[in-house]
Every structure is written in structure tokens, then in C-alpha cells.
Chains A and B, each alone.
Chain A
Amino acid sequence: MKKYLIIFAPLVLLAGCSSSSTWGWYVINPMTPSGWINVKFLISGMWATILISVIAAVISIGLGLIVALPGLAASRGWRVLNRVYVELIRSIPLLPMLFWVFYGLPIIFREMGVNIPIDPFWGAIITLAISDSAFTAEIYRAGIQSIAKGQTEAAQTIGLNYIQTMRYVILPQAIRRILPPLANQFIYIVKMSAFASVIGMQELTRRANELVVTEYRPLEIYSLLILEYLVLVLIISAGVRWLERRMGSDERS
């Protein structure tokens, strides 16, 4: 609990400056009617941030596994495919990738004669999911590789095929090494989802930007914005730690 107090102390200090005339905490003072409207406006972006992050994470968790499996294959060709994907995606900064998906991809679709519009919501999700999948793929690969080769061999000798071996033997054992880092990766997605603001997605950061334009109180509004992310990430971190403890205690049994 002390740790949380230390984290919040600077914000409390900032708020303490409200008496000075250069400060304008009134813009986000929930006690006043106009301040309350502003606070509600800012916090209402939370749902979009959470929704984008959760959907992107779910896609990334599936995509990461599909990318990781060729990386574990015996044949060199499959492994090269995995390396190219991971290295390529890892080296593209998120913002250019977001622009490419949002402004570029629709042109490719149009050329192909299919009409798939990409709105800010799905543009952000696709970008976050693809960008994150390179990392989740590496998490899967490390987790699966940590399971001894003898397990795969034993599964093969009792006639299980590749998918059955993964499904019933390898993944259930690897999951305790995979789940905590995957959950950690979710924090990365939540933070990166702020970039969705630049393509017009009405999430936390976009809301703050819009309010700054009309109120011109960047310090106060962005302070609240940071606080919002902080709360979100702290909640997820607590979840990750809970998961790590649970997985750890499983291992001992």
C-alpha cells in the first residue's frame, strides 16, 4: 500500500498548487458543474481504451501462437518464416504502422476490388494486435521450448499427431511459463493504444487532447490523463502478480 502512496504523492503535490493563480485545477474539479462535465468527458474515453486493448490482446494471443509454431519446426524453411515475421514486425515503430494500416491498407483493398473500410477502431486494433504478436510469438516460443523434448517424443510414440501433442501435452505444461509474460504484454498494449488518438479514435488520450484545445489547460488535463493510465496499469499489474503467484504455487504441487 505504501508503494501506491509514493506513486500518487507527486500528483497530490501538483493538486496542492491549486491556490496559485497560474494553476487551473477548476477545469477538472468534479465539485463544480463544468469541471464535472469535463471529468466525465475525459473518463468516458476509458471504455474505448479498454475495448481496443482487450480485443487487440485477444487477437495477438491467437496470432502469436500461429506465428510461434513455425519457429519451433524442424524444417529450416518454417523457422525462417517465423524469424522474418518477428524481426520485421518488431522493427516497425507503432505510429508508422498505424498510418500504413489506416491510410494505406484501404487502398490495397480497393485495388483488390474488395470494399473493406477501416475505421479508427479497427485500424487501431489491427495495428496493436500485429505489432504485439511479434512479442507474444516470442513468449510462446520460449515457453514451449522450455518443455523437455522427451515430452514431445513420448506423445509421438503413443500416436498423438502434432496438434494433439501441442493441445494435450505441451501447451498445458508451457502455459504457466507463458501466461504471466503474456499478461505483462497487455500493459504494453494499453499504453500503446494512446497512439489510436492520432487517427481519431475517441479514447483516453484523444479526449484529453480535445479538451486541451477548448480549455487550454494542458498541465491539469494531461496530469489527469496520466493518472487514468496509471490506475489502469496498476490494476493490470496487480492481476499479473496474482497470476504469477497462482502459477508459481501450481508448480510446487
Chain B
Amino acid sequence: MTQAAIELHNVNKWFDTFHVLKDINLSIQPGEKVVICGPSGSGKSTVVRCINRLEEHQKGTIRVDGVELNDDPQSVAAIRSEVGMVFQQFNLFPHLTVLENLTLGPIKARGLSKDEARAKAMHYLERVHIPEQADKRPAQLSGGQQQRVAIARSLCMEPKVLLFDEPTSALDPEMISEVLDVMVELAQEGMTMVVVTHEMGFARKVADQMVFMDAGEIVEQGSPEAFFGAPRSPRCQKFLSQILQH
């Protein structure tokens, strides 16, 4: 077996006294796509945010590409350089153009020249199908376009892993598919992905591993066939029946 891309071992986290993550164990192989779902407040975002240290875990270990995440700023920097993240609210930089949004990281954090960064940015804008928007401000784009820019911005850092926290939840229904299409393409190209989403069609199509969380615990975990075909826990059954009704 090759080295896992991401390895969570007995991860626990508290917000003050609130035990938000309880003994989370998760192993993700390179190229694998993991979809995390579960009711609101179950800790999905927190798991994903712990992987790139936007939140700190208090117990257990998290390894990304073999590097353990701890208080050492170098380990945090090393892991962040391998892990990209796409947020529910896009979090594009509103004062910069689309192109500047994409080149900022490569120029400042990676030390690329302006021309190299520009070429890279245009390459990834083409991959998300909006090269013609390069000189606009984020506010001039539709939600779906903004999220695709955010995906391109992450790709410009050439991460080994991409984290998505409900990337389509803030979008109008007619724009969801343009973002999901890009994500499916990425998945087919072999990107390692951890996706928090309730888009079960997407999950069926790309997931190698399904994770269901409730109240800070992983309640059910397995292949999509087993997960959708015969969920074992009642909580997961109830969740799936609710979500698949829509």
C-alpha cells in the first residue's frame, strides 16, 4: 500500500467545552475522492478545516503526505502548500481582478515571475472554462463563475489535495451544475479530493469513499454502493431518505 495522502488518527477537537470532533479516523489514498455528508452542525466543516490547520485539533494526529501537522509553523506551511481549499462563500479577493486573484499566491508564496504566474493562471482559467473573464472583478461575475475562479485559484498552487466545503451551497440552482462539472473533470484527472456536499448525484458519480457524520462522529463510512444501497445506521438511513426526497 502506498503512503496515504491524508491520515487522521483518533482526532479530537473541542470548542471550549463543546466536544465537536470525537475520535475521527480517516485514511485517504492519493487520487481518492472522499465525500463527507451529514446534518448541519455535525462537524463536517471542522474536519476539513483541521486538515489545513484553519482549525487546531487537540488530540490525535493528522498527517498529510506523511508530514504530521503540529504547532511548528514549518509543518503548517508545508501542509498548506500541498492542500488547496474551496469555500462555500468563494472568498475571492474583491479588490483584485480575476487574474490577480490567481497570480497572487504563485508570485508571493511560490516566487514565480509575473509572466510564469500569468501563463499558469490563464491555463487554469481555461480549465474552468472562463478565460474571457480574466480582467474582471469578482463582483462582476455570477456565483457559479466566482466559484470556478476560486477553484482555479486553488489549482494555481498545484496542490496534491483539494478540500471543498459545500462548494455549491451558496449558488443558485441553475449554476450548481457548471461548478459540479468542473469538479467531476478534476476528479477524472486524478486529483485527490475531500468534498463536503449534499449533492448526492455528484457523490455517486465520483466518490470512492462516503463518510457520514453526526454529532461530531463518523457514523458510517464505506463505498458508495454500500452506502447508498444499504446504509446500516438508522441515523444515516433517515438522513439519506430526507436528502434524496428533494
Report which A residues bind B (CB closer than 8 A). Answer: 148, 150-151, 153-161, 164, 168-169, 172-173, 253
Q: Which residues of A contact B87 (CB under 8 A)?
A: 150, 153-154
What 3 A-B pairs are tightest by C-beta distance, nearest first?
A158-B105, A159-B109, A154-B91
Report which B residues bind A (CB closer than 8 A). Answer: 52, 54, 77, 80-81, 83-85, 87, 89, 91-95, 104-105, 108-110, 137, 150, 153-154, 156-157
* Contact A160–B89 (Cβ < 8 Å): no
* Contact A153–B81 (Cβ < 8 Å): no
* Contact A158–B153 (Cβ < 8 Å): yes
- In the bound complex, how far is the Cα of B104 from the Cα of A151, in angstroms? 13
Q: Quick one: which of A154, A158, A161, A172 has the most chain B CB within 10 A? A: A158
* Contact A164–B52 (Cβ < 8 Å): no
Which among B92, B137, B157 is the interface contact of A159 at CB below 8 angstroms? B157
- In the bound complex, how far is the Cα of B157 from the Cα of A158, in angstroms? 7
* Contact A151–B105 (Cβ < 8 Å): no
Q: Quick one: which of A148, A156, A253 has the most chain B CB within 10 A? A: A156
Q: Which residues of B contact A157 (CB under 8 A)?
A: 52, 54, 80, 83-85, 154
Looking at chain A's contact residues, is the secondary structure mostly helix, strand, loop, or mixed?
A: helix
* Contact B94–A160 (Cβ < 8 Å): no
- In the bound complex, how far is the Cα of B137 from the Cα of A99, in angstroms? 52
* Contact B80–A173 (Cβ < 8 Å): no
Report A40 CB to chain B, min CB distance, Å: 48
Q: Which residues of B contact A158 (CB under 8 A)?
A: 84, 104-105, 109, 153-154, 156-157
Q: Which residues of A contact B77 (CB under 8 A)?
A: 159, 161
- In the bound complex, how far is the Cα of B94 from the Cα of A173, in angstroms? 8
By beta carbon, the residue of chain A nearest B102 is A158
By beta carbon, the residue of chain B nearest A153 is B54
Q: Which residues of A contact B108 (CB under 8 A)?
A: 159-160, 164, 168
Which among A148, A155, A160, A173 is the interface contact of B95 at CB below 8 angstroms? A173
Q: Which residues of B contact A150 (CB under 8 A)?
A: 87, 89, 91
- In the bound complex, how far is the Cα of B95 from the Cα of A253, in angstroms? 10
CB<8 Å pairs between A and B, sample of 19: A150-B89, A151-B93, A153-B87, A154-B85, A154-B91, A154-B92, A156-B54, A156-B80, A157-B52, A157-B80, A158-B84, A158-B154, A159-B80, A159-B110, A160-B104, A160-B105, A160-B109, A164-B108, A173-B93
